[in-house]
């Protein structure tokens, strides 16, 4: 388990104690979408000249952490 915080930028850290980790139940449809995303990301990893192995589910096309500003911008485009 890992938590994310915005202290001086985006910071990932392990929970402070073992009881702090939580499981998030997912629907079968969500699991299927995540499996498809994993395949797409694996193809991006192979095609990339450079890949930052961040171990994150959602990354840039270079494997880096997503910028909160870019995510916000894309979200607003989807809402238009």
Going by C-alpha positions, the residue among 70, 23, 44 that lies closest to residue 15 is 23
Identify the CA nearest to 38 among candidates 58, 24, 65, 60: 58
DSSP state of 59: B
Residue 12: per-residue pLDDT: 64
How far is the C-alpha of 11 from the C-alpha of 13, rounded, in Å?
Answer: 7
Look at residue 3 and tell me whether its pLDDT is greater than 70.
Answer: no
Quick one: DSSP state of residue 19?
Answer: G
Q: Of 10 and 75, which is predicted with more confidence?
A: 75
Report pLDDT for 29.
Answer: 94
Q: For residue 71, give the nearest of 54, 58, 52, 56 by alpha carbon.
A: 58
The predicted-structure confidence for 10-62, as pLDDT tens digits, reads as follows: 556 677 777 777 778 889 999 999 999 999 988 988 988 888 887 788 888 78
What is residue 21's predicted lDDT score, i.e. its pLDDT?
74
pLDDT of residue 5: 53
The whole-model pTM stands at 0.62
Cα–Cα dist 76/28, whole Å? 27
């Amino acid at each position: 388990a890992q938590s994310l915080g915005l202290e001086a930028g985006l910071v990932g850290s392990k929970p402070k104690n073992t009881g702090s980790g939580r499981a998030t139940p997912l629907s079968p449809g969500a699991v299927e979408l995540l499996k498809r995303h994993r395949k797409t990301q694996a193809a991006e990893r192979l095609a990339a000249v450079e890949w930052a192995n961040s171990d994150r589910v959602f990354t840039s096309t270079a494997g880096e952490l997503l910028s909160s500003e870019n995510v916000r911008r894309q979200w607003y485009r989807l809402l238009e």
